[in-house]
Amino acid sequence: MSLAEPIALLDETASWRDLAIRSVTSSIIDAPTLRRHKLSNTEISCQNFVLVRVMLENGVEGYGEASTLGGPRWAEESVESIKSVIDAYLAPALVGRPASCFEDNAIRLSKAASRNNAAKAAIEAATFDAVGKSLGLPATALLGGSVRTSFSVIWALASGDADQEIVEAKAKLERAEHRRFKIKMGFADPRMDIERLRKIRSALGADVEIIVDVNQAWSEATAIRWLPALEELDVSLIEQPLPAAQMEQLARIAARTPIPVMVDEAVFTTADIARAGSFGAGSVISLKLVKSGGLLELKRAAAVASAFGMELYGGCLLESGIGAAAHLAVFSTLPKMEWGTEHFGPKILVNDLVLSGPTYRNFEVHLPEGPGLGLILDEDRIKHLTRTGA
């Protein structure tokens, strides 16, 4: 093939003019969950998303998604603020621009609005989806190419009812969906949390991996008091036991226990990651688009964390199949992904928002196949769940 042939092919299938962004639109989706999901500062029984659609001049439409947990509690964004900033500030910054200029578009979004990471990430995911579809390539090819197509997948037990959680976990094991479980803690007295954890460990057995997520709910003193109990229960990983701002204290906790400590809410920017790495605040990092603000920036976050010797964990914010597919596309291109991912969000919804997307089998989540993010949306269900008047 001559050097001219790829250029000719591009001219025929998707010229740069065809890849210009015609429109960026957003809508709010309210999707019920199968059971309540508790964190230290809130609980939900309905998950909220902002669905972003990027339409190119060639008529190809790409999809992205921004997810929150019960409003502006986990971070400062809510679905209402996300939609507002997209419609008023971010969309106008990109309309008419080539969708394939990913880095330049990210710069434009940063100039249009500070932070607003979930909103920016949703738009960038939609542009990768649209460009990939236009070129007949998976989004992973635009991100450097995949090195894996599936991941060991973790399920969160977060109802706060040990008996219900044991039944739930055993069903996951029997269906070969999950054998690694993250227990949400911090919304009860630590003694009650440990008793609940002990009951779950006894019921599931020693072969099941257990991770705990305290969601910033403990003080340093409380963590010191209960670390031995977590060690006794053979916990594999402790996620963000202290408030995000207490980096030095978190480093002292990490130094006290043989259990790896994972940083999550403490690290949004690459500068945050470098600071955590310098302090030794954690040996594992939770990667999330809602923190990094885009697919390319998520790859940079992983690279900085790896440079400090931190292992990588694919975090989630209960995304549907749309948001999960964007995360998995990035994760699949990382040289290492030591802890797999917890992208179980599509399975906790009463019904997912896609007809075709990530699949779950043999204790793993598998990337969708096809161009872009490989998604087929369930438009009827999305229409039914779209918030009117938003």
pLDDT of residue 389: 75
Which residue among the candidates 184, 288, 291, 299 is catalytic per the annotation?
184
142-385 has which CATH code? Answer: 3.20.20.120
Examine the residue annotation and report whether 184 is marked as an active-site residue of this protein.
yes
Q: Using H for helix, E for strand and C for coil, what is the string for 307-376?
A: HCCCEEEECCCCCCHHHHHHHHHHHCCCCCCCCCECCCHHHHECCCCEEECCEEECCEEECCCCCECCCE
H/E stretch holding 6: helix 4-13
Total Cβ atoms within 10 A of residue 166: 16
Block means of pLDDT (10 residues each) for the chain, 390 residues, are: 41 67 98 85 87 97 95 91 98 98 98 97 98 98 98 96 97 96 95 97 97 97 98 98 97 98 98 98 98 98 98 97 98 98 97 98 97 98 91
CATH 3.30.390.10 for domain 4-137 = yes
Domains of the chain by residue range: 4-137, 142-385
Coil, strand or helix at 36: strand
Distances (CA, A) of 345 to 111, 116, 286: 31, 21, 16
**How much is the pLDDT for 1?**
33
Active site residue 342: yes
pTM for the full predicted model? 0.94
Task: List C-alpha distances in Å: 243 to 205, 281, 371.
Answer: 31, 12, 41
Q: Which of 284, 222, 210, 277 is nearest to 253 (CA)?
A: 222
**Best CA proximity match to 56, nearest among 105, 121, 9, 6:** 105
SS3 93: helix
pLDDT for position 295: 98
CA-wise closest residue to 142 among 377, 375, 376, 371: 371
Per DSSP, the three-state class of 56 is strand
Distances in whole angstroms, Cα of residue 326 to Cα of each of 63, 140, 218: 9, 9, 32
**Given this model, what pLDDT does residue 9 score?**
46
Per DSSP, 62 falls in state E
Sheet strands (E) in 103-221: 150-152, 155-157, 180-184, 209-213
The pair of three-digit structure tokens given for residue 30, joined into one six-digit string: 């309210």
Catalytic residue among 182, 342, 347, 364: 342
| Cα separations in angstroms, 223 against 193, 209, 239, 248 | 12, 21, 12, 14
* pLDDT score of 8: 44
**161's tokens:** 């009812």
